Amino acid sequence: MPKKSRENGLWKAAKKARKFAHAPFSNFKVGAALETDDGEFIGGCNVENATYGLTICAERVAIFKAVSEGKQKFKRVCIVTDTDGPTSPCGACRQLLWEFCGNIEVLMGNRDGILVRTTMGELFPMPFDKKDL
Ligand code: THU
């Protein structure tokens, strides 16, 4: 499959996951999707909690879903929100994305399509990871 249609499939998977976002406190719904090395798309949405602090972001839900299904090799991640500009992964998600995905491509989009293409290396320079232990 050409790269543009894989990107489009990943964006669609993130947009679809966003529909299930549980965000009654912030009303900020986020969808994320990971592309595995064998071309599967695994989506996640943010799941908020009344304690606020127990809220989990869409990116981490997607990672934990994938890992719990035995998938640990990823090519790309896409984050989708209903905003005019891109939504960048938070610091906690960057740590987790680095841990499980390394220097993968990161796409950020909205309802209209992909707005930003970058990499984890750009978003998360000088990470702390297993090489430091
Ligand atoms: N959120 C995500 O799910 N991913 C991001 O990249 C940014 C923030 C969620 C967490 C919370 O439910 C809401 O967006 C507002 O911060």
Judge whether residue 3 has pLDDT over 90: no
Mean pLDDT, rounded, of the chain: 97
Candidate of 15, 22, 46 to mutate for ligand 1, largest count of ligand atoms within 8 Å of Cβ: 46
Percent of the chain's residues with pLDDT above 70: 100
* CA 1–ligand 1 middle distance (angstroms): 31
How many distinct structural domains can be found in the chain?
1
- Per-residue pLDDT, averaged over 51-77, amounts to 98
Residue nearest to atom 14 of ligand 1 (CA): 28
User: Using a 6 Å cutoff on CB, does residue 89 contact ligand 1?
Assistant: yes
User: Using a 6 Å cutoff on CB, does residue 57 contact ligand 1?
Assistant: yes
User: Using a 6 Å cutoff on CB, does residue 87 contact ligand 1?
Assistant: yes
d(CA 52, CA 44): 18
Task: Judge whether 77 and 69 are in contact, CB under 8 Å.
Answer: no
Q: Give residue 32's Cα distance to chain centre.
A: 4
- Per-residue pLDDT, averaged over 46-72, amounts to 98
- Per-residue pLDDT, averaged over 33-57, amounts to 98
Judge whether residue 1 has pLDDT over 80: no
Q: Is 117 helix (H, G, I), strand (E, B) or coil?
A: strand
Task: Judge whether 78 and 32 are in contact, CB under 8 Å.
Answer: yes
Residue 32 belongs to a domain with what CATH number? 3.40.140.10
**Rg for the chain (alpha carbons), in Å?**
14
Cα–Cα distances in angstroms (integers) from residue 126 to residues 11, 33, 74, 104, 109, in the given order: 28, 25, 20, 15, 25
**Residue 126: what pLDDT?**
97
Residue 46: domain span: 3-132
Task: Judge whether 129 and 22 are in contact, CB under 8 Å.
Answer: no
